[in-house]
Structure 1
Amino acid sequence: MAEFAPALGERPTSLGELRGAVPVCDRVAYFNTGATGPSPARVLDAAAAWERFHKVDVLADADPYEIGFAEYERLRERFAGFLGVDADAVGLTESTADGVSAVAAAYDWSPGDVVVRTDLEHPAGTLPFDRLARRRGVEVRVVEAPDGRVDTDAFADAVADATMACFSSLSWNYGTRLPVRELCEIAADAGAFTLVDAVQSPGQRPLALPEWGADAVACSGHKWCLGPWGAGLLAVDPAVDDDLRPAQVSYRSVEEAMADEYHLKPGGARFERGTASLAPHVGLREAVGTLEAVGLDAVHDRVLALAARLTDRVDDERLLSPAEPESGLVTVDVADPEATVERLHDEGLVIRDLPEPAAVRASVHAFNTEEEVDRLAAALNGEP
């Protein structure tokens, strides 16, 4: 049977065409990609086409498991290229939180073991370790990072006798880029396993994960990649396989499910379990292909240029993110974040409020326009 190859037409190849491919842009000025990115129509069409192909055409003509499992491997190869790693490293997960919690649960913890994280982490990077503290007696050390900046000396002190360090590649509340490679090197020198929450990075710029030197990286595609919910990726260096024993094992976790003795797959694939829907990852593959057709460097340059346009126009005393943006995330101090989000939504501007710091955050992507950015800045500056 022929490989799945939906007829989606020509991909957009310019920033203007990218905007035209995103349906939500016809309805609102969307600045909340850091929470959930809006998908191009072709991404949604690809996901839907897979479901019809697999549940209609394949059932009539072939073995759905054979075709489905072959598609897993095609997807793994595709995302490995996107992340700059070998296919053996990649596992298909549900989300970043899924990947972080799976790695946290796979380590052989003992009372008194130490986990180090920063105070910038999303609950996806805090809750698994809070649970380990309660149930396994693990000590969690939190390195403070004022204004989104990690003091590497403080981090080195905290991680000196640690078992694992978990931190973000890009802070979700300030939009600052953490010195991932330096933090990984410090942790490695101390003998600590490094787990990076990279949820805000893919889709904003080209990635080559080996440059970070992390043992494991969890991310997903529903934000800046503009993919569907449910498409997570977990890259695990096969060199650390012996350190990780998944808490859940099933037939997609192992090399031969019917063998008398099972052997876990290498890398992130050992965290896959059973027949999870492939539609989200099929959609993500199309989303990645769309951004690559436009050009990831062009997307990155556009994101930073538009974010800088916003920071230039927001009153300086209210800007909590860097004045020279390091990402598309721009955080602004307002008197009443929730009310501000509601007011701007009524004006056709979609942003979000943050719990810490108590502020609002705009996510500027390449599909946004200068006019939308100017409208947003004016609305924020005109807060009553």
Structure 2
Amino acid sequence: SNSKDTVLIALIAAGVAVFATEVLRRFNTSDKLKGKKKLAPIPESMFGRKLLEEEFAVKPNYIYGNCGSFGHVPQRVILAQLELIKERESDPEGWYRFGREYSLYFDAIRELADFVKSDPTNLVLVENASTGTNTALRSIEFADGDKILVNSHTYGAVLKNVKAVRSEFPGVEEVNFDLQVPLNSKADVIKQFETAINENKGIKVAIIDHITSPSALLLPVKELIEVCHKNGIIAIIDGAHAPGHIPLNLEELNADYYTGNIHKWLFAPRGCALLWVHPKHHDVTRPILVSHNHMLDTLEKRFVPSATRDSTAYLAVPSAIAFHKALGGLDVLLERNRQLANAAAEMLAEAWGVERYPVPESLRSPNMALIALPPIFQDNFPPEERECTKLMKRLHDKGSFISFNPVSGKIWARISVHAWNSMEDFFEIRDKVLEMANEVPSDCPDGLPLNAQTARTITSPLVAK
């Protein structure tokens, strides 16, 4: 057994070495990137499949239309992370004990703060947006009768956070209201939130998505924060999909807490997210993990990476931002990705004979779109996570991927568009889904039969956004 473990470890180490060597080979030398945050501009003529093949470690001929779940890390950023790991391993004492990690962490905070328009003292890094939401909830003092407001589009992991709080404070209640579609305007969203607040006295905290995960709605969070504050409610904003996707000014938003992933749309290694904390909550906000920094006197010091946690995903944030800027930043990406997402969604809806999610353009996230799956799927698969996972596995096996989600009583396809995508990707996805439709047995109400190997690999629904 020990010899087998030794061989396995050796194989893994060799694989990592081969990958690192290939990254270095592609860019000729680490000196091209080492220590440099500013990259040469990458022209739009490079966008699409060429960008994917030259800048990302994607497997050949795979169509990836789901940046919204896990993001995609550029090889340049992977290389920057590898350089950080190498530096750490060359001098662990200097790294952990004598402040090198500390210094790099605050460099990353300053660059990220500039990108999201935040005071650096209000900003910390956490593992993902769900961790950020959990940190905020754990920093609030609850009493019997307090209520937490969520809605039918709230992300599943966040709902579990709320459930965990309620298990510790049995007197706390959850108010989960149905944010109904169709929606005609931002005013419709605000009115539904106001109605939920007015009909449920005692709401202490509201958790609001900036961009909803399953339904790709862009909610009017600034106005909703103002509604919360007018009613004495703490506003926690789940901006999991926002950084690098839409412009942010966290100081102007003025939430109580705002969290968002850096590893989705902003190219950071996984897992890496920001947590913005209003100054009035600094003193009570502490990391979930209790360690050496837990009782330090300022918010930013308390969240410096603890002990021997691998912080290199955080420390590579400046390289991720540099890559985003090299693509033209939001000035280029926002409009380009919005146009492609809209065109692809319209094409898919027409080809499949279905509707897009019934909301106006002002409530649609720029880089994502929701299209109903063809009727044969609606007729044969109940709108449940388990069934969506079966269908996603089928599509993945065909060499393509987009997300399928149960929303508002139907199964919807959620496409995500980033700089490596092109219209040709979505033509491929169109055809693959139509292939799948032809494979659905009309007399199989329980969905597609899974072969034994697939059944063994699917043990629970995919939980990533």
Q: Deviation per CA, 1:6-51, whole angstroms, max 9, x where unpaired? A: 3689445333446231232744121111111111101111111101
State the identity as a percent.
Answer: 22
For 2:306, the equivalent position in structure 1 comes to 274
Please give the residue correspondences for 1:47-126 in structure 2 after superposition, counting only pairs within 5 Å: 47-56=81-90, 58-59=91-92, 64-126=97-159
Shift of 1:370: 2.1
For normalisation by structure 2, the TM-score amounts to 0.73
For 1:219, the equivalent position in structure 2 comes to 260
For 1:165, the equivalent position in structure 2 comes to 206
Matched-pair contact (CA < 8 Å) for 1:176–1:327 = no
Shift of 1:5: 5.0
Shift of 1:162: 1.7
Please give the residue correspondences for 1:294-373 in structure 2 after superposition, counting only pairs within 5 Å: 294=327, 295-315=329-349, 317-320=354-357, 322=359, 324=361, 325-334=364-373, 335=377, 336=381, 337-338=388-389, 340-356=391-407, 357-373=410-426
Task: In structure 1, list runs of 5 or more residues that go unmatched.
Answer: 256-262
For 1:234, the equivalent position in structure 2 comes to 275
For 1:184, the equivalent position in structure 2 comes to 225
1:201 aligned onto 2:237: no
Shift of 1:61: 7.1
Inter-CA distance 167–361: structure 2 relative to 1 (3 Å threshold): same
Q: Deviation per CA, 1:135-186, whole angstroms, max 9, x where unpaired? A: 2121111121124856322312433542111111001111110010111000
Count matched residues: 371
Distance in 2 (CA, whole Å) between partners of 1:239 and 1:96 is: 21
Matched-pair contact (CA < 8 Å) for 2:349–2:371 = no
For 2:324, the equivalent position in structure 1 comes to 291
Letter matched to residue 141 of structure 1: V
Which secondary structure state, in structure 2, belongs to the residue aligned with residue 108 of structure 1? coil
Shift of 1:232: 1.8
Bigger proportion of residues as helix: 2
Aligned-residue Cα RMSD (Å) equals 2.7
Distance in 2 (CA, whole Å) between partners of 1:102 and 1:232 is: 12
Shift of 1:245: 5.8
Inter-CA distance 163–22: structure 2 relative to 1 (3 Å threshold): same
Q: Please, which of 121, 137, 153 is the counterpart of residue 191 of structure 2?
A: 153
Matched-pair contact (CA < 8 Å) for 1:16–1:367 = no
Moved more, 341-350 or 277-286: 341-350
For normalisation by structure 1, the TM-score amounts to 0.87
Distance in 1 (CA, whole Å) between partners of 2:393 and 2:355 is: 19
Distance in 2 (CA, whole Å) between partners of 1:238 and 1:164 is: 17
Matched-pair contact (CA < 8 Å) for 1:312–1:323 = no
Letter matched to residue 376 of structure 1: I
Inter-CA distance 328–73: structure 2 relative to 1 (3 Å threshold): same
Inter-CA distance 272–113: structure 2 relative to 1 (3 Å threshold): farther
Inter-CA distance 33–321: structure 2 relative to 1 (3 Å threshold): farther
Larger Rg: 1 or 2?
2
For 1:32, the equivalent position in structure 2 comes to 66
Moved more, 296-305 or 353-362: 353-362
Letter matched to residue 174 of structure 1: S
Distance in 2 (CA, whole Å) between partners of 1:302 and 1:86 is: 29
Distance in 2 (CA, whole Å) between partners of 1:319 and 1:162 is: 33
Letter matched to residue 157 of structure 2: A
Inter-CA distance 248–232: structure 2 relative to 1 (3 Å threshold): same
